[in-house]
Amino acid sequence: MAVTRLKRKDRKNKARQNNKVRVIKQLLTTPVIKNVDVEELKARFATAPAASTAAAE
């Protein structure tokens, strides 16, 4: 008895698995941010609008 292969389903399953692997690899390559200085970030945002408005004029 002949066996029918479901080629479209096979391609879809392989593509789905490849996408999952790609997403996992992307998540693993993103660096983890540690030791964030909140006060330094607030100081940057406080001075940033003044610099951008002076450049626009």
List pLDDT tens digits, range 18-30.
Answer: 999 999 999 899 8
3: left (phi over 0), alpha (psi -120 to 50) or beta: beta
List pLDDT tens digits, range 4-53.
Answer: 889 999 999 999 999 999 999 998 998 877 888 888 888 888 876 655 55
> pTM (2 decimals)?
0.46
Phi, psi angle pair for 32, to nearest 5°: -90, 130
